[in-house]
Amino acid sequence: MDASYDSNVFGLSDPLIERGALGNRSKDDFSLSPSLSTDLFLPFGRQSVYARGTVAYDLYASNSRLNRLNISLGMGGNVQVTNSCTAGTDLNYTRSRSNAGDVFAVLDGALVRLGNTVEFRSVGVRGQCAGAIGISPSIGYTHSETRNSSAFYAFNDSNQDTVDASIGYQRPSLGRVSIYGNYSKGEYPNRNVLGLPATIPGIPADGVTSYSAGARFERSIGTRLSGSASFGFSWVDPKNIFSQKFRGTTYSLQVNIIPTNRMSLDLVASRSAQLSNTVFASYSVTNLYALNGTYKVNDRLSANFGVSQQKRNYRQSASTVDQAAFLTEDKFTRAYGGFAYNLNRRIRLNGLVSQQRRQADNPLFRYNNTTATLGVSLSLGR
């Protein structure tokens, strides 16, 4: 159970509020979120299956129409095909309320009053072969879908199919060095290549096709340093006649550092091109940088902290939309700090304070918000 306060629950800028986008609703709000989580792992022989997830319900004090069921579920399994080869499958489903600031809500209306619920589901299969030393190939396929409850936001409903493959060489003293390639085809079924509703006969649906290739390095040094780094090149071809192609470098860096027995740090940096669930965008080029840490004060108390920045460059799907709602780039900066305290082996207390700022080239979509959360959880596991 979590109790939270949000200073800008709709994620709206002051100019939008002055235009009446908030109406007679409260800008800030308190909420209660009862939840149930599970994390199951069942090995049998050389195979295994898992199921993990959380179901929660947000109850708002002032803006009851924002009450929402939130779901995050994942399940799958792995099969040992040979001594060095495995195959697996994963299924994922999430359901949550999206931020009104991403919906281009410039006036009071049902879009702000009711909000938008976004659902994401995916299924993937993967096979790989790897021993302690030698060649290690892998191949995978993922199908994903995004659906929105708002009729306006449904323009960004999408389907995506992705195939990835890599081949590398690994040994304990070296780590793993590999080359990879990805192919992805995405479609927006509810809009066409003109950026209009997909109801005009003879005009194909909007979508994006992308390719990427590069090299990846993974290595662990003792028990205190591990990480992976990749660098590649991407080609993105949107179907929409107004959107520009993308040709550029992409990268990913993930590092875990344990400087002391009490502290753990995670560093993340990435640049990628991906489908966007923001209205009037065919895709976005996203840069992400983050530092997250945990410090163990004693056997019962730990502190967590972090900072992150996400910058998105939108490649628009239409050049004729209302310029008041036009957005080509934004940047989210977030800092947080919190704690977790184990009263005993079953009961845990937690708290978190977070500050987020959204900057954008359109002042209508700039906003700040502060959230504070206190929670208690009961573990029923063994």
Q: Among 156, 66, 159, which Cα is nearest to 121's?
A: 159
Q: Enumerate residues 6+ apart whose C-beta is below 8 A from 89.
A: 76, 77, 123, 124, 125, 126
Decide if 270 contacts 228 (C-beta within 8 A): no
Report domain 2-378's class.
Answer: mainly beta
What does pTM read for this prediction? Answer: 0.87
Task: Give the pLDDT confidence score for residue 374 in this predicted structure.
Answer: 97
H or E element at residue 337: strand 329-342
- Cα dihedral 337, 342, 347, 353 in deg (nearest 10): -10
Ranges of each domain in the chain: 2-378
Which residues, given as ranges, of the chain have pLDDT below 50? Answer: 103, 106-108, 320-321
Q: How many helices (H) and strands (E) does the chain have?
A: 2, 19
Decide if 77 contacts 91 (C-beta within 8 A): no
- Taking the mean position of all CA atoms in its chain, how far away is CA 31? 23
Task: Give the pLDDT confidence score for residue 315 in this predicted structure.
Answer: 80
Task: Give the pLDDT confidence score for residue 252 in this predicted structure.
Answer: 96
Decide if 183 contacts 211 (C-beta within 8 A): yes
In percent, how much of the chain has pLDDT > 70? 92
